[in-house]
Chains A and B, each alone.
Chain A
Amino acid sequence: TSWPGSHIGTETLRLVEFTAFVERQSERDTCKQQHRFVHIDPTPTSEPPLEMVDVRQIYDKFPEKGGGLRDLYDQGPPQAFFLVKFWADLSFSLLEEELGGTGGAFYGVSSRYEGPRALTLSCTSKVCSFGKQVVEKLETAEPPHWEDGRFVFRMQRSPLCEYLINFIRKLQTLPEKLMMDSVLENFTILQVLRDQETQELLLCVAFVFEVSASERGAQHHIYRLGRD
């Protein structure tokens, strides 16, 4: 199987869906309200091929020593490297009881991948500030399910770390989008997905951010990372 070139994926693994969200119980209702900070939908096949960004332009936004982006890219495979520019939707208001703690709100990330091989999928996420790692999280996807001719891997409702929750909250206190974007210029996340048994690198996704104009909701562009 070969994937069309309009989304994050290789012949071994494809990102189908990615959401970072906050969820809370409504006072009036029994159902939960979910607000998505960022979201990648399953991509329609009619999308044009991805533009390329030279990976050297963003080396310094991620750790540079001991398994940083440069080392990872040198090891390859190059077709497994992608960049996502998110315009995050921060247009939700914190409730009074949530100002001191999470107040019962749940901050999480859910993602879904698919591919032709049944493997144990591990995901390392590095949160970086000024290119330096501040938090690292290692997760293993649920065992894959065979669905419609391919294996589907899920990491559902993975809790956001305290650093990220506090970061989002502090960002929201800034009065202007320009100020938020200025802070976000030095905030990045690097995700590396591997076959846990062989340690083969399957996908490496670099995330960079701005804040969405509030009426638009979360948006994104996806790029291939390359090097001439």
Chain B
Amino acid sequence: ARPDQVPMRKRQLPASFWEEPRPA
């Protein structure tokens, strides 16, 4: 599949990319 047909969730990204940080 072309890269632009791959949802972000299926790309090789760090786990933290999907974890909203807690407020400081």
A18 within 8 A of B: no
Q: Are B8 and A185 in contact (CB under 8 A)?
A: yes
Q: Are B17 and A53 in contact (CB under 8 A)?
A: yes
Instruction: Determine chain B's interface SS by DSSP, over half rule.
Output: loop
- Select A221's contact among B8, B12, B21, beta carbons within 8 Å: B21
Chain B, 1-24, contact with A by CB distance < 8 Å: what is the 0/1 string?
A: 011100110011110110111110
**Segment from A101-109, A115-123, A139-147, A209-217 that makes contact with B:** A209-217
Q: Are A59 and B20 in contact (CB under 8 A)?
A: no
- Select A213's contact among B13, B17, B20, beta carbons within 8 Å: B20
Q: Within 8 Å CB of B22, what residues of A?
A: 216, 219
Q: Within 8 Å CB of A195, what residues of B?
A: none
* Given known A213-B20, A216-B20, contact A223–B14 (CB-CB < 8 A): yes
A35 within 8 A of B: no
* Given known A57-B12, A216-B22, contact A221–B17 (CB-CB < 8 A): yes
Q: Within 8 Å CB of B12, what residues of A?
A: 54, 57
Q: Within 8 Å CB of A210, what residues of B?
A: 20
Size class of A's contact patch?
A: 20 to 34
Binding site for B on A (CB under 8 A): 51-54, 56-60, 85, 87, 130-131, 185, 208, 210, 212-213, 216-217, 219-221, 223
A130 to B8, CA, bound (A): 12
The smallest C-beta distance from A17 to any residue of chain B, in angstroms, reads: 15
Q: Are A216 and B7 in contact (CB under 8 A)?
A: no
Q: Within 8 Å CB of B11, what residues of A?
A: 57-58
Q: Are B23 and A219 in contact (CB under 8 A)?
A: yes
Q: Are A60 and B4 in contact (CB under 8 A)?
A: yes
Q: Are B14 and A59 in contact (CB under 8 A)?
A: no
A220 to B19, CA, bound (A): 10
* Given known A216-B22, A216-B23, contact A221–B7 (CB-CB < 8 A): no
A78 to B8, CA, bound (A): 23
Q: Within 8 Å CB of B16, what residues of A?
A: 51, 221
A96 to B22, CA, bound (A): 32
